[in-house]
């Protein structure tokens, strides 16, 4: 059962945000992840989705997620839950968003999903990066702007996580050096491509079949990057039909040789998962490095 103090704070915050008196009638626990507890909030003015976590452990996490959802939503390219508010109450941080109801997929669900993602990726920026740092999982994600994708990917993605893994004695010096050598070769590996607005953590656990049987994406780690990163992530853990990949390629073709870059594009999420969960991800990282 949810803490009464938190319920009182949440009711007050919702009342201020919406300009009407909100009475929370019930909260229903929904299966959450490793970091957050999640609930369906039922009130006199409707229902919302609530995420909560430890405010001390993850400072500003929900402020960053709110920002990312706003950025994605403003494009009108693909459905995201509309963020309502975020805040803290005692030891808890919370984020309230639109509640998305799961539905049955339309017949052309995957083709529609691919078209929407392609439209999102056509939203560009003058540099690679983002106006603020944010999170991927519970790891800080740095988004310092660079005009070069290879430099951005090395400086903000691969090298910081490799050094963190080394500092935690989870990665040996030889593997770090292999990563450093690979980073020097990134300019010859990646063809020039304009910055694309990315979801940033696009695996099958971060989308659902929402309104009108179409895709809704959530839990973003937003930044402007190379669009092959999002696409490689969809291939890493499964859950995306081949129709999705064929449709994307037909709508917004990837540059020549994209297949050979999948492993390099998956290095970042592999490093993230290795730092978070350990296990076989280290062997996966080594396999990618040995291939190059």
pLDDT per residue as tens digits for the range 15-71: 999 999 999 999 999 976 778 999 999 999 999 999 999 999 998 999 999 999 999
| Alpha-carbon gap, residue 226 to 199, rounded angstroms | 11
Catalytic site positions: 201
Residue from 34, 13, 65, 96 nearest 276 by CA: 34
Distance CA 268, CA 273 (A): 9
In total, how many domains does the chain have? Answer: 2
| pLDDT at position 5 over 70 | yes
In this prediction, residue 190 has a pLDDT band, given cuts at 50, 70 and 90, of: very high
Residue 38 resides in a domain: yes
Residues 80 and 148 in one domain: no
CA dist., res. 148 & res. 270, Å (int): 22
**What mean pLDDT value characterizes the chain?**
95
Single residue among 74, 98, 122 that ends a domain in this structure: 98
pLDDT at 32: 66
Residue 203 and residue 230: Cα distance in Å, rounded? Answer: 9
Q: Which of 98, 125, 154 is the last residue of a domain?
A: 98
pLDDT band at 150 (very low <50, low <70, confident <90, very high): very high
Domain range holding 158?
A: 109-291
* CATH number of the domain where residue 20 is located: 3.30.200.20
Pairing of strands 215-217, 207-209: antiparallel
């Amino acid at each position: 059962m949810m803490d009464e103090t938190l319920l009182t704070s949440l009711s007050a915050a919702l009342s201020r945000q919406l300009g009407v008196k909100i009475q929370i009638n019930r909260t229903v626990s929904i299966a959450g992840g490793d970091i957050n507890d999640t609930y369906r909030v039922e009130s006199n003015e409707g229902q919302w989705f609530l995420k909560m976590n430890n405010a001390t452990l993850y400072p500003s996490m929900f402020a960053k997620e709110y920002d990312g959802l706003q950025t994605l939503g403003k494009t009108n390219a693909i459905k995201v839950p509309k963020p309502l508010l975020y805040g803290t109450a005692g030891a808890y941080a919370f984020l309230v968003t639109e509640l998305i109801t799961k539905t049955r997929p339309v017949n052309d669900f995957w083709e529609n999903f691919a078209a929407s993602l392609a439209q999102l990726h056509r939203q560009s920026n003058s540099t690679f990066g983002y106006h603020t740092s944010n999170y991927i999982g519970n790891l800080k994600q740095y988004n310092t702007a660079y005009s070069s994708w290879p430099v951005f990917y090395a400086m903000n993605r691969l090298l910081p996580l490799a050094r963190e893994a080394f500092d935690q004695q989870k990665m040996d010096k030889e593997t770090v050096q292999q990563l450093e050598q690979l980073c020097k070769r990134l300019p010859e590996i990646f063809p020039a491509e304009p910055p694309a607005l990315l979801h940033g953590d696009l695996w099958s656990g971060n989308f659902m079949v929402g309104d009108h049987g179409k895709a809704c994406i959530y839990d973003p780690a937003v930044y402007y990057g190379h669009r092959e990163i999002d696409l490689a992530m969809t291939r890493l853990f499964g859950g995306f039909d081949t129709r999705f990949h064929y449709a994307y390629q037909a709508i917004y073709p990837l540059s020549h040789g994209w297949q050979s870059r999948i492993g390099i594009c998956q290095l970042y999420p592999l490093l993230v998962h290795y730092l978070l969960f350990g296990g076989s991800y280290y062997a996966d990282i080594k396999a990618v490095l040995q291939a190059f």
